[in-house]
Amino acid sequence: MVAWPLAVVLIAATPFAALAQSISTDTASYPSRPVRFIVGLPPGGSPDLVARTVASGLAGAWPHNVVVDNRPGGGRNLVGETVARSAPDGYTWLLTNDNMLTVNPHLGRTPFDPFRDFTPVTLLARLQFLLVIHPAVPAKSVQELVALAKAKPGSLNYGTSGNGSAQHLGTMLLQHLAGIEMTHVPYKGAGPAVQDTMAGATFAGIVNATQTSWR
């Protein structure tokens, strides 16, 4: 497991924000039915784990369950649209990493306005990213990986949680700074990407360690 300090410094502060539409409900009786956390990634990734941790913690404090609803695909724009169009009653929340709100609008038109359509609720976690490689890759350091990629441009592939994700942008930054070329393999989430790196289907990937700030 090889740490890439610049990527960690650049994107370590990437937070997961829990967002809900502007709430117009009776707070004294809230919640009077189950609350839904929508996560735009498949099970197994950090957002999913954070969502389930929060849901489990609220289960003892609220009279109704918090349901985690995984809806991967569309670079998380689809779940943003779903929450933006839901009733603003505080029962549909979006748990997402902040690049959906800060990066996606710059990559193309999004079906939501990050400033008008959501109300921030809380910061749940911060991430630190690590560059990892499969044991079959003949490199034991970042320097050796860069040398290998320079010797075989495009032959090394890497998995990420999707186009425009922090993992994708971090690896693109690495390639730009090091003057190398690797092949991007986008997945619907970090969980499947890590599984394929562990299995050797991809040679490298950026994974994260989550520091939760929610209590």
Domain with CATH 3.40.190.150 in the chain: 15-126
Residue 21: how many other CB atoms lie within 10 Å? 20
- Read off the pTM: 0.71
Token code pair at residue 149: 């990629």
Residues 6+ apart with CB under 8 A from 215: none
Q: Where in the sequence of the chain do the CATH 3.40.190.10 domains occur?
A: 128-212
Q: In degrees, to the nearest 5, what angle opens at C-alpha 31 toward C-alphas 29 and 34?
A: 150
Per-residue pLDDT of the chain (215 residues; tens, 9 = 90+): 333 332 222 222 234 556 665 555 566 788 899 999 998 888 887 788 888 888 898 888 888 989 999 998 777 788 888 888 888 888 888 888 777 777 787 877 888 888 888 888 887 777 778 888 999 999 999 999 999 999 999 999 999 988 888 888 889 999 999 999 999 999 888 888 888 999 999 999 887 755 445 44
CA dist., res. 17 & res. 101, Å (int)? 10
Confidence (pLDDT) at 200: 92
pLDDT at 183: 96
CA distance 130 to 8: 7
Q: Quick check: 84 and 118 in contact, CB under 8 A?
A: yes
Name the fold adopted by 15-126: D-Maltodextrin-Binding Protein; domain 2 (3.40.190)
The dihedral built from the CA positions of residue 72, 78, 83 and 86, taken in this order, carries a sign that is negative
Q: What is the pLDDT of residue 30?
A: 84
If we measure between CA atoms, which residue out of 190, 203, 208 comes closest to residue 139? 203
CA atoms within a 13 Å half-sphere pointing along the CA-CB vector of 209: 7
End-to-end CA distance of the chain: 30
Half-sphere exposure of 150 toward its Cβ, with a 13 Å CA cutoff? 11
Query: What is the CATH architecture assignment of 128-212?
Result: 3-Layer(aba) Sandwich (3.40)
